[in-house]
Amino acid sequence: MLVTELSFGGAAIGNLYAEVSDEGARAAIDAAWEGGIRTFDTAPHYGLGLSERRLGEALRHRPRAQYVICTKVGRLLDPADVAERSIPGGRTEHPADRDTEGFAVPADHVRRFDFSADGVRRGIEASLDRLGLDRVDIVLIHDPDDHGEQALREAYPALEKMRAEKIVGAIGAGMNQAPMLTRFVTETDIDVVLIAGRYTLLDSSAADALLPAALDRGVSVLAGGVFNSGLLAAPVAGATYDYHTAPPALVSRAQRLAEACARFGVPLRAAAARFPLTHPAVTSVLIGARTAAEISDAIRLRALDIPAALWDALATTDQEGRG
């Protein structure tokens, strides 16, 4: 399965942090397509299914063989009234008017972790319904941090069976941490992992074990969170790092990296997006975009010539700053 070096990350069009209009989301997806991006990542978690619905609406009229859709399993979306009735002890609770997990959407559904074999199959069926497609190309076990053993014992075998039956294409796992992904790489026969925020200019911890293991076993790596949720795109006070306000010391580190990039005439965000691709295990970088301008900017910067000397300068700058 071929993926493009730039992939479209679908969290933002699921209204992550702020609302995006249907027209704005469609324009962002269309701009990605026009710029040559053919790999699109989404998940039920993103906007309680909104991201999947928007991607499906924008892509289903395109030639199906020309693009790759990646979605995830591990969270089922239950209607809010069903969730109210299912609370133990006969208690009832009323969901908030808006989602409480960072997406600007109505809380008409609630997420329920389910890494069982049945949950995996139900999750894929629901995703296909939201996407309006007859298949997905990549399915990832999503954030099994607190459910690792069940994910390995139940979710993975279910996906392996579905892959053998050609119900799904490539299979893998996607997380914000490297150690458990390393277990998936070394203990299973997955095809791909998505590592978010752990192979960036500010945190390259995935290089310790995950990336070498992936390279050794022929597992492809998709790199997400390359801006660490914002700081490496705009290193200013108040910027976010891993979805929290970045501490001043981290902002200073990012600003020094930006200054080093400027000496080579390269924007920091261009270097941040390109850095993961310097490792041979990484096949694609996910860029989350909520507007056509954002994704067009990423595509333009992908063509920028980045001298090899810049990587040495960035490593030296960061080492000196922390030393």
Strand residue runs (E) in 114-191: 138-142, 170-175
Q: How far apart are CA 103 and CA 271, in angstroms?
A: 28
Do the Cβ atoms of 275 and 318 come closer than 8 Å? no
Question: Which residues does the annotation mark as catalytic?
Answer: 46
Q: Is the pLDDT of residue 92 over 70?
A: no
Q: Is the pLDDT of residue 173 over 60?
A: yes
What domains are defined for the chain? 6-322 (3.20.20.100)
Helix ranges, 152-233 (H): 156-164, 178-187, 210-217
Which pTM value belongs to this model? Answer: 0.93
Do the Cβ atoms of 163 and 172 come closer than 8 Å? no
Q: Is the pLDDT of residue 187 over 90?
A: yes
* 200: phi then psi, degrees, rounded to nearest 5: -135, 175
Q: Is the pLDDT of residue 87 over 90?
A: no
pLDDT, mean over the chain? 94
pLDDT class of 106 with cuts at 50, 70, 90: very high
Q: Is the pLDDT of residue 313 over 60?
A: yes
* pLDDT tens digits, one per residue of 232-283: 999 999 999 998 999 999 999 999 999 999 999 999 999 999 999 999 999 9
pLDDT score recorded for residue 320: 77
